[in-house]
Amino acid sequence: MALITKAVRGTRDVLPDESFKMQHIEQTALAIARDFGFREMRTPVFEHTELFQRSVGETTDVVQKEMYTFQDKGERSITLRPEGTAGMARAFLEHGLNNGILPVKISYLTSCYRYEKPQAGRLREFNQFGVECFGSAKPQSDAEVISLAHLLLNELGVTGVSLQINSIGCPTCRSKYHKELKSYFEARGGELCETCHGRLERNPMRILDCKSPICAGIAQDAPVMLDFLCDECRLHYDSVKSFLDEAEIEYEQNPRIVRGLDYYTRTVFEFVSDALGAQAVVCGGGRYDGLIEELGGRPLPSLGFGMGLERLLMVMEAKGAKFPEPPQCEVYLASMGQAAVKRCFAIVTNLRRGGVSAECDTVGRSLKAQMKYADKIGARYTIVVGDNELETGIAALKDMQSGEESPIHLDDSLYTTLYNKLLDRQLANVADLLGEAAE
């Protein structure tokens, strides 16, 4: 029988054999964010469309071409979030977090949706880890956010990634830059794509982010923002670099980084990898000092970054990063006879309550088939329970790696005995890992 349907193009299923890798990334990211003082927040998957139009920018590719927008039953325009920052900023204002102690430091794991051509590491439904820091104008905050991303990538074992930074100034110094940029692109206006013709009048900086090879080629010789920074923006940018130098975080200056969203100001940065055969951004962010005011709040300097998890996973696998072993069954109880089936079920239930990963037969397999199944799922230990074991209250605990067997009581002491054996094995594994690291 043919499948009714398949997954929608640009989406993917994360199967059990891979999900533990994603969980490892997510748990590591949230743990490191907590060490930096960032606390997790969650927002709805869809928002009013005007939120993204106001924050992301009318002239961006995201708003013009990529958003999933629809009318709900109340005839309101609703959009699936294309990125994480706008929703976090909206929630920050709506719940009055701006009236508390600043800065407010937020982390998030979220799904995002963009209608674009699916390719390696780029999907129409994808997941992001990100952080937002609301309420700090100091350059050390820029360096702190960059440091968080840098530490996370190192902790995950991602090698061959370069940090690239730039400053795109503030509205004051950017106005002069826009005039120069507009003049430059007007001279080659006939070669620009149709979308960039509209950008030329409203926001010529967006042309620098155009995906068209022709527009990208023209932009290569365009004026750069670093040559137009005002004294205050220049001082801020130099200070960010000095903090990175002090923390011994290596970086490259890339004057072509503008990021794809309009809310960015001053510092912008990207962590770039060539692991996928081409330059791939695994993390990008920067400062957005005007966003909170644009959404109706009082002026409040802010900054953050977003990191695509699917692309990050691909880079980690390409670079041979180590992942923890997938979780496996710690003990399998095989049963012979209906009384043993019930007793095994009760024992397994109690083991699970104590935090031990345990399984027993639920489909009526023969003893031989149960043992094969235990081997396939990688059970560390097995216990066979039949009439004799029920009568004596003692069974044999078999180590599936060494084949050694030892007696174990089928009472409350079973958990303690098994827990101690598992703990001894874990400590031995840790010792082995420490030995490998020392070598």
Query: What ranges make up the beta strands (E) of 191-329?
Result: 252-253, 265-273, 280-287, 302-308
pLDDT value of residue 425: 64
pLDDT value of residue 434: 38
Nearest to 385 by CA among 419, 343, 425: 343
List of the chain residues with pLDDT < 50:
430-439
Angle between helices 139-155 and 231-246 (to 10 degrees): 40
Query: Which H/E stretch holds residue 421?
Result: helix 413-438
Query: What ranges make up the beta strands (E) of 336-402?
Result: 358-360, 381-385, 394-399
pTM recorded for the entire structure: 0.87
Domains and CATH numbers, the chain: 16-169+242-318 (3.30.930.10), 171-229 (no CATH), 331-426 (3.40.50.800)
Query: What ranges make up the beta strands (E) of 86-174?
Result: 104-113, 125-134, 161-167
Q: How far apart are CA 280 and CA 307, in angstroms?
A: 12
Q: How far apart are CA 259 and CA 251, in angstroms?
A: 17
